[in-house]
Amino acid sequence: MATHESHKKRSGLMDWLTTVDHKKIGILYLLAGGFFFLIGGLEAILMRIQLMEPDSKIFTGELYNQLLTMHGTTMIFLAAMPIIFGFMNAILPLQIGARDVAFPFVNAVGFWLFFFGGLLLNLSWFLGGAPEAGWTAYAPLSTVAEDTGVDFYVLGLQIAGAGTLAGGINFLVTVINMRAPGMTFMRMPLFTWASFVTSGLILFAFPALTVGIFLLMFERVFDANFFNADMGGNVLIWEHIFWIFGHPEVYILILPAFGIISEIVSTFSSKRLFGYSAMVFATVLIGFLGFMVWVHHMFTVGLGPVANSIFAVATMAIAIPTGVKIFNWIFTMWGGQIRFTTAMLFAVGFIPTFVMGGVTGVMLSVPAADYQYHDSYFVVAHFHYVIVGGLILGLFAGLYYWYPRMFNRVLNETLGKWNFWLFFIGFHLTFFPQHWLGLMGMPRRVYTYMSGQELDGANFVSTIGAILMGAGTIVLLINIIISASSKYATTKDPWDGRTLEWAMPVPTPEYNFAQTPLVRGLDALYVEKAAGNGEMTPAEPVGEIHMPNGSILPFIMSLGLFISGFGFIYANWIVAGAGLGLVLITMFLRSVIDDHGYHIHKEEVEADIKGGRA
């Protein structure tokens, strides 16, 4: 067979630029997302340094607004989401017993679009200044700004957002179509479930962002008047569109963290998840309700008491499935044998922190009281409790947990514990006082505050906390650097795992499973361990494995959009056209070049199995 097949083995940089392997794309997402996380973190620390003392003049006015805009935009779109996508890529196909995602080529396109979009956005720092209208980019502040900052925001996010949408669709199809025999929906690990629901949210939420950003782009680049009140436009249109995307986005971020925590709590308590079906139902319900609550970001814009009350009650309703999750985690631990590894420490730190972020969320859902909280530091404290205390602790937990599977090495546990305690204590020091700052009358997004308003003490403590968080992150970096120079771990299953991703040898073979496994229950690997088998039962004989070829086209395609982005920003239609032309050419090439992939022969697979490599 395979007369028309060709397969070129590439190495080094070219291998990474052309890869369509979900494991490598996962690592790329993690590296790029980690890099942007450091930039976003640095921006946060600079802001905290400015706010450490009253009347400070280090980063003022426009520059401070650029920092706060880029911190928010970077952390949400370029750090948190890509790191989530990193784990989804690296782990989800393994958890459902698949050899890759449904569309490996699209997967690579998604990554490179995100990467070039993020790069474009961050280049604004060197090209006339970053966007300064907040990550929410409220019109007309965003439309009247004269410099190119907001143009970078518009084009950068449009390109990165397209990548996210492609990724989301890919995972939806992967979960629906690529599950191993026996892996029914109600046997899928919670992380897979959460990723599945998140992908669904991306499918419905990101088009709203795309449309909104197109309107903003037309307003800025082609002088349209969607948000210009003087010309019959309406500024509230942007707020609605942005939050119709923006609120589901919060759940796009937090649901995968819920999934990670569910995996870790279950593994390190050596117990199956308590109330699995309730957990699945709660995840789906949170995802659904996430689309019904966007107006709670807009209680003060004047939509009237009827709208405010309806959205208040809808918002409160989300607390119920979220509470179900919290109690199910606690009861998963109940009666278990809890092992306090670093991954588990982060998960243990996650639960109470997230509960605190959740209860302030319920407080914020009360419109009449929200008139006091809104756009004050109380809100800043709340969403950092949810996003840092929730999502980031979850991602750190996931990193320590899955690092051995992704990078074939175990991170140092002692450094890991330093990482945890510094970050955890720093986090609470930073954000707990901010609740009080808000209630004491400090608005958010201010570059300074005058002395004599009793705001000095809490701000000082908050900055100290931010520095500790930075120190914790540096410990993590050191840990990663040390591990990179250490040897491969020999064990494929360091945590006594329960799910399929721990069933393969390290390093994970290119084709994941030499033989697709047969899944016989929830926690597929644990089922086999409990039955005394120790490893998965294959669902098929050893045979040829069909693999996709790598391709440089996704890289070039995204590069084309990157170039055209510059064209639109500087209203240079030749450059814009040339970039789009490059995209069309790569699309054309992708359509006409017949690429059937290649096959790994049976003998090679058998040799791998014999040698313990598969």
Partner 1 sequence: MKKWLQKGRLVSLFAMLALLLMGCGDPTLSALIPQGEVADKQFQLMLISISIMILVLVVVFVLYAFVLLKFRKKKGDTSTPKQVEGNHMLELLWTVIPILLLIILAVPTVMRTFEFSADAKPASKNELSIKVTGHQYWWEFEYPKEELITSQELVLPADTKVHVELSSADVIHSFWIPSLAGKTDTNPGDKNKNYMWFDTGSKTDVVYKGKCAELCGASHALMDFKVRVVSKEDYKNWVASYKAADGKSSANANGQQVFEKNCLSCHAVGQEGGNTGPSLTGFGDKDRVAGILEHNKENLKAWIKDPQEVKPGNNMPKVNLSDEEIDAVSDYLLGLKLK
List the interface residues with partner 1, window 348-367 (CB under 8 A).
348, 351-352, 355-356, 359-360, 362-363, 365-367
Q: Write out the two tokens for 528.
A: 């086999």
Handedness of CA 527, 533, 538, 539 (dihedral sign): negative
Cα–Cα distances (Å) from 293 to 245, 251, 308, 317, in that order, read: 11, 11, 10, 10
Which member of 2, 320, 587, 589 binds partner 1 (CB under 8 A)? 320
Stretch (H or E) spanning 231: none
**CA 104 – CA 109 distance, rounded (Å):** 9
Question: Taking the complex as a whole, how short is the minimal distance between the CB of residue 452 and partner 1, in angstroms?
Answer: 8
Instruction: Rule CB under 8 A: say whether 45 interacts with partner 1.
Output: no
Please name which of 205, 203, 16, 195 lies closest in space to residue 112, comparing C-alpha atoms.
16
Residues 6+ apart with CB under 8 A from 262: 189, 190, 191, 194, 273, 279, 329, 332
Of 56-64, 196-204, 381-389, 509-517, which segment contacts partner 1 by CB under 8 A? 56-64
Of 136-144, 252-260, 413-421, 460-468, which segment contacts partner 1 by CB under 8 A? 136-144
Question: Taking the complex as a whole, how short is the minimal distance between the CB of residue 302 and partner 1, in angstroms?
Answer: 4
Q: Write out the two tokens for 45.
A: 């620390």
Distance between alpha carbon 425 and the CA centroid of its chain, in Å? 23
**CA 293 – CA 289 distance, rounded (Å):** 7
Residue 198-237 contact track with partner 1, rule CB under 8 A, x = bound: -------------------------------xx--xxxx-
DSSP, res 286: H
**CA 592 – CA 181 distance, rounded (Å):** 34
In this structure, the number of other CB atoms found within 10 A of the CB of residue 27 comes to 18
Instruction: Rule CB under 8 A: say whether 53 interacts with partner 1.
Output: no
Instruction: Rule CB under 8 A: say whether 182 interacts with partner 1.
Output: no
Cα–Cα distances (Å) from 145 to 42, 141, 228, 251, 453, in that order, read: 25, 6, 13, 31, 31
Rank residues 61 and 128 by Cβ distance to partner 1 and give the closer one.
61
3-state secondary structure of 264: helix
**CA 350 – CA 336 distance, rounded (Å):** 18
Instruction: Rule CB under 8 A: say whether 333 interacts with partner 1.
Output: yes
Q: Write out the two tokens for 487.
A: 């040897």
> How many of the chain's residues bind partner 1 (CB under 8 A)?
93
Which member of 172, 216, 260, 324 binds partner 1 (CB under 8 A)? 324
Map the footprint of partner 1 across residues 411-470, applying CB under 8 A. 436, 439-441, 443-450, 452-455
547 bridge partner residues? 598
Rank residues 327 and 573 by Cβ distance to partner 1 and give the closer one.
327
**CA 260 – CA 401 distance, rounded (Å):** 9
Instruction: Rule CB under 8 A: say whether 285 interacts with partner 1.
Output: no
Phi-psi region of 134 (alpha: psi -120 to 50; beta: other; left: phi over 0): left
Map the footprint of partner 1 across residues 20-39, applying CB under 8 A. none
Map the footprint of partner 1 across residues 589-608, applying CB under 8 A. none
Question: Taking the complex as a whole, how short is the minimal distance between the CB of residue 421 and partner 1, in angstroms?
Answer: 16
Of 11-19, 301-309, 532-540, 603-611, which segment contacts partner 1 by CB under 8 A? 301-309
Question: Taking the complex as a whole, how short is the minimal distance between the CB of residue 509 and partner 1, in angstroms?
Answer: 30
Residue 244-283 contact track with partner 1, rule CB under 8 A, x = bound: -------------------------xxxx-xxxxx-----
Question: Taking the complex as a whole, how short is the minimal distance between the CB of residue 367 and partner 1, in angstroms?
Answer: 5
Of 60-68, 80-88, 181-189, 510-518, which segment contacts partner 1 by CB under 8 A? 60-68
Give the type of residue at 21.
D
Map the footprint of partner 1 across residues 517-556, applying CB under 8 A. 530
Residue whose structure tokens are 């401070």: 64
Which member of 6, 177, 184, 309 binds partner 1 (CB under 8 A)? 309
**What is the phi/psi pair of residue 280, to 5°?**
-65, -45
Which member of 219, 370, 501, 528 binds partner 1 (CB under 8 A)? 370
Rank residues 176 and 229 by Cβ distance to partner 1 and give the closer one.
229
Of 96-104, 326-334, 512-520, 604-612, which segment contacts partner 1 by CB under 8 A? 326-334
